[in-house]
Amino acid sequence: MARSEKLTLERVDRALAKLAKMIILMGDEGECLWPIFDRVEQEREKMASRAERLQKAIDRVK
């Protein structure tokens, strides 16, 4: 990722999908990727939560 590219939920979702496919394709050897998948998924949830919280704050004063 170039420094100018913004990290978005869509990009994280694509990364999670790629990881999921790799885990499935690798079978038992894909087990080593689970910690990475878990971490990326946790970070995605944080990003989504932040965006939702910001939108709620804006919506409260409309």
Residues of the chain with pLDDT under 70: 1-3
- Domain assignment present for 2: no
Q: Tell me the C-alpha distance between 28 and 46, whole Å.
A: 29
Is 4 part of any domain?
Answer: no
pTM of structure: 0.79
pLDDT at 11: 96
Supply the pLDDT for residue 31: 96
Domain-located, residue 5: no
Question: Containing domain of residue 22, as a range?
Answer: 10-60
Give every CB contact of residue 19 below 8 A, 6+ residues apart in sequence. 33, 36, 37, 40
Place of tokens 């999670």: 16
25 in a domain, yes or no? yes
Decide if 3 is inside a domain: no
Quick one: pLDDT at residue 1?
A: 55
How many Å apart are CA 52 and CA 29, to the nearest integer?
Answer: 36
37: in domain = yes
| Model pLDDT, residue 62 | 81
Domain count of the chain?
A: 1
What is the pLDDT at residue 41? 97
